[in-house]
Chains A and B, each alone.
Chain A
């Protein structure tokens, strides 16, 4: 009896979503006009089965994930390089800093028309957008990580007469790593969102964004809903995965 009450108590959070889904289902049965905006759950289920059977969902998801990974890799690598060199050298900071901060102000998707005109609407343009989206937070966080290193750590390095390489690997990098990991987490989120975003605009090739855009053109709400759910779910999963991974890898640092 007690465990049943406990179960009911824990299930309270599910009540509201279930009520909303119920209302959605009722709204969808109010006539064809309503069924257009609120697709019945049954149709969503059928759509999911159809998308999985035809392989469209898998292909689109893999294409989006691949684009995100390539863009992320490029953006993170470049971001760490630029951020670190900006933090190490005042000259570099003065040269790149103003350009970086100016560029950063433009919403990334606002750049799509310009990049599409210059680089076409193929895979290259898309990866450029995704890597830019990953590059901005990565640079900022790497820069902050390297410029907020406690002076006494450097002094310890000096006392031990570390060479430049040792200073970098033994002192600077370990202190900057938490901030870099944080930057990578942001970069991941931005890369995923912009990868989906750019697919909505540049409709060549496969991707979850394309899948949704085609479904929108054909007014197939169920496919759009499935797309939204997939995007949310995958974004959440990647975020969790990365957070766990970085917590594991950074477990040596004393948590404040």
Chain B
């Protein structure tokens, strides 16, 4: 009985603790913003080095109005999209083959696990030499960054499906179609989606890096150009936009995972 009461009482305590604190999430960012504005105003550092927040905001609006920001974002996102589509579909297919066929596993897995160890960033100079500084190299580096986590998650996700699920299916004499779509797919989908999410955020990081090094468009190129011109305000706008896009991609996927796998009991 006493345990029932304590369980019932818990939510109220929880709400009382959290509610007034909700706004407190904004306190420290606002304080930092204020401190930034004050230090910038005090004139201790030159305005070129410590740009006041208001100037950064103006720059953001200028870049937005001129369409420059959207143009760069569009270039970056279309590279990400194309590379992601190639890498994710390739990774899915290869992962499935790796999980289902013993032959594929025996012949391909040593190479796969070796290549997986090479960080994508380190491949940038090699890809530039092999494919030039044009679009091909950027899309391929994104493809590479997505392919390996997706392939790994797919093959492990499929291998981790408990065998007795299929035995139950066989007892009910389910046709193959049902075995795949009603048993295998739901069981393997959560780890696969997690792999896709990890691949996507790695791809975004690598793409920004590739654009910093060699590009004539894209958000990475925008901040690299601004760095050479000593325009810290543009760099800051770019950094914030890059962070925001990364955040939206990652959290969008997390929400998707939550929605799709509501039925999961954990």
Residues of A participating in the B interface, judged by any CB pair closer than 8 Å:
12-17, 20, 36-37, 90, 94-99, 102, 105-114, 116-118, 192-194, 196-197, 200-201, 209, 212-213, 215-216, 219, 221, 224-225, 227-228, 231-233, 235-236
Contact = CB atoms under 8 A, between A and B. Distances in A.
A39 B88 CA distance: 30
B243 A94 contact: no
A109 B122 contact: no
Given A13-B111, A16-B107, A113-B226, A193 B242 contact: no
Contacts of B108: 16
A116 B118 CA distance: 26
A90 B25 CA distance: 11
A128 to B, nearest CB: 15
Given A98-B26, A99-B28, A113-B224, A12 B107 contact: yes
Interface of B: 21, 24-29, 32, 49, 106-111, 114, 117-119, 121-126, 128-130, 204-205, 208-209, 212-213, 220, 223-224, 226-227, 230, 232, 235-236, 238-240, 242-244, 246-247, 250
A247 B30 CA distance: 43
Nearest to B110: A13
Nearest to B118: A232
A2 B83 CA distance: 47
Contacts of A114: 223, 227, 232, 235-236, 239
A84 B91 CA distance: 38
Contacts of B117: 232-233, 235-236
Contacts of A118: 49, 232
Nearest to B219: A110
Most buried by B among A111, A224, A236: A224
B110 A14 contact: yes
B124 A200 contact: yes
Contact of A107 (B28, B49, B123, B242): B242
A222 B52 CA distance: 47
Contacts of A97: 25
A224 B243 contact: no
Contact of B32 (A17, A99, A213, A224): A99
